A and B are shown apart, each in its own frame.
Chain A
């Protein structure tokens, strides 16, 4: 029975990362209509920033986390300005460009970090919290889920309570109508990808002390983000968060009781099922094609 509760804890913690990545992807796709294949690589940049500045050069963790977030935000803004904006009417072209960026980011990581085994970042927070004598949560993981929840709350606040946030939602619902209302599409797109990139960078920075850091770590991130986005609903942020939690729990439980590969295969099959039965996802709205 304690395995069950431990699994719930394990799953909930994972969901923080899934949610951050998925939310970024949904924002970018919702507002700009383009699939950002480089999203996993952007997360990787966040992790590498922590490795390089914090682990290798001793910069304080929290400070470096902020830098990682802003660095990836900047990358996103540059991508929007020079790649996605000119290709606004050609989403396939935008997608291909993001693949190009993915390759370039991977190479930069390889050059900075050198080839060889994955990098490790010692966790800034040591120790484990023990609940009810049997359930264990490392403090580092508590920190990361805490920050993730905080970031998502701030995002929700931004989207629901601020004018800028409303304009983002308006553009994702109907770009032409929003433009007619006087909303600046260019600026809104840039904000969307800035926020999406920041989420990816933050996720990477939080993951850094908890995982193997290498140029290809973004691969599993993007697969998970896709699954979560599709299942949750392509236009819906709350759907993405819900799907993140559900998928994290699902993946954790299947891994615990069966195997990790079966968990991923099942996740992919569920995604295909959702695509067939209800392509807009659990909470999404139809996206015009």
Chain B
């Protein structure tokens, strides 16, 4: 029995993949009719990914495609997905915009008009802003990892999994609870509005709530090649905590901290490719770093209340097929895929507008870490972001380990005014 290919490569990821994709494409063309007969009248639907597969932002796009392929394959292997009485096979359609807004618009159009996708998954930021008018006009369900993309009229934009930068407060809460002697913090991160500043504002708010004094905020541009002066400048103020917020430069910053002999607590949003960081510094140095993204072979993911089937198996498959590519987003896009499946089943329809309205009218939306609720109107105009609990992860003996789950929801109920205050102070858009 020939397996239906689950992925259609729309754009280039390297010579080997291109040839592989061509082979798959030819195979699909040749055997196109057989699967339909084999699966008894299954139709195929495409789900779009308009993400960076190349360039600086690739770590937050490409691994997500790999993850979705694995999950889609599993769904199809178990017979597909039944929605509204019809069985569907899922195919991923990806477009590489390389984080260029022009290409993001082109990609969106191509996916929606030419590929007829039922959903467009995106990373977030200016690329999402550039497609919002289209998303609204075409009533196309669009997902993002950054709730800060939500505007008062982005009715078809939802953030069902990641709620950046809100979940960062959990790391700070855990740090304060476990290291009460850490009283001062410095924040060093890139100065872009969508990642760095959003994150910096959130960390500042979280530090304030815990009574930790933020003694320095150093926001740098994307053109920095040498981080030595920045780190020297910050360490001269002797902070107990070094916070990298959502930085694209975690590796060079960690290197500098190691070389310049920092002995305090390090906290960050992501810690992608931490094996490389350990190779450049040392295991003893990296142990204890606090961040927010688990490896999926973590035992705490098999507990009750986690809405991700067989996380360990997913982790193994991923590492087997893509040994060096695991990043923070590897499981997030697949989680959104599963959120879509859940909503489509409940709606009994694959049409984007039906799925969106079902999602938004569900008071307890499908969320990877358990219970979630819609939030966001206080900050961005619409309750289109799911918040619930989020894991706090540290490196233990060279490996990522979830320490505990903390509630983002509860923090927001108590402290959202502090957060709004800090966002306004950094000039970020709030309603």
Contacts and interface: CB of A to CB of B under 8 A. Distances in A.
Interface stretch (A28-36, A60-68, A122-130): A122-130
A122 B280 contact: yes
Contacts of A114: 14
B230 A260 contact: yes
Contacts of A255: 220, 224, 226, 229-230
B33 interface: no
Interface stretch (B51-59, B101-109, B307-315, B385-393): B51-59
B225 A116 contact: no
A260 B252 CA distance: 15
B115 interface: no
Contact of B55 (A6, A115, A261): A115
Contacts, number: 99
A289 interface: no
B54 A115 contact: yes
A122 to B, nearest CB: 4
A136 B261 CA distance: 8
B261 A128 contact: yes
Given A211-B225, A252-B226, A115 B13 contact: yes
Contacts of B260: 6, 128, 136
Q: In which size bucket is the chain A interface? A: 35 or more
Contacts of A211: 225-226, 252
Interface string B194-226: 000000000000000000000000111101111
B87 interface: no
Contacts of A59: none
B58 A117 contact: yes
A217 B54 CA distance: 15
Contact of B259 (A111, A118, A128, A220): A128
A136 B259 contact: yes
A10 B280 contact: no
A143 B56 CA distance: 29
Q: In which size bucket is the chain B interface? A: 35 or more
Contacts of B279: 120, 122
A117 B230 contact: no
Contacts of B58: 115-117
Nearest to A128: B259
Contact of B280 (A116, A120, A128): A120
A78 interface: no
A238 interface: no
Nearest to B12: A115
B54 A256 contact: no
Nearest to A121: B280
Contacts of A122: 276, 279-280
A116 B232 contact: no
A264 B191 CA distance: 15
Contacts of A7: 229, 232-233
Interface in A239-258: 252-253, 255-257
B273 A117 contact: yes
B251 interface: yes
Nearest to A10: B228
Given A10-B229, A128-B261, A260-B220, A120 B251 contact: yes
B233 A257 contact: yes
B221 A261 contact: yes
B223 A6 contact: no
A40 to B, nearest CB: 12
A256 B259 contact: no
Interface in A145-187: none
A260 B259 contact: no
A259 B220 contact: yes
Contacts of A120: 251, 273, 276, 279-280
B15 interface: yes
B62 interface: yes
Nearest to A262: B221
Interface string B229-248: 11011001000000000000
A217 B223 CA distance: 10
A123 B280 contact: yes
23 contacts: A2-B236, A10-B226, A10-B229, A13-B228, A114-B14, A115-B54, A115-B55, A116-B58, A117-B56, A117-B59, A120-B251, A120-B279, A128-B258, A136-B261, A211-B226, A220-B223, A253-B229, A255-B226, A256-B232, A259-B218, A259-B221, A260-B220, A260-B223
Given A7-B232, A257-B233, 17 more contacts: A6-B232, A10-B229, A13-B228, A116-B53, A116-B59, A120-B280, A122-B276, A128-B259, A136-B259, A136-B260, A255-B229, A256-B230, A259-B191, A259-B218, A259-B220, A259-B221, A261-B191
Interface of A: 2-3, 6-7, 10-11, 13-14, 111, 114-118, 120, 122-123, 128, 130, 136, 138, 211-212, 214, 217, 220, 252-253, 255-257, 259-261, 264
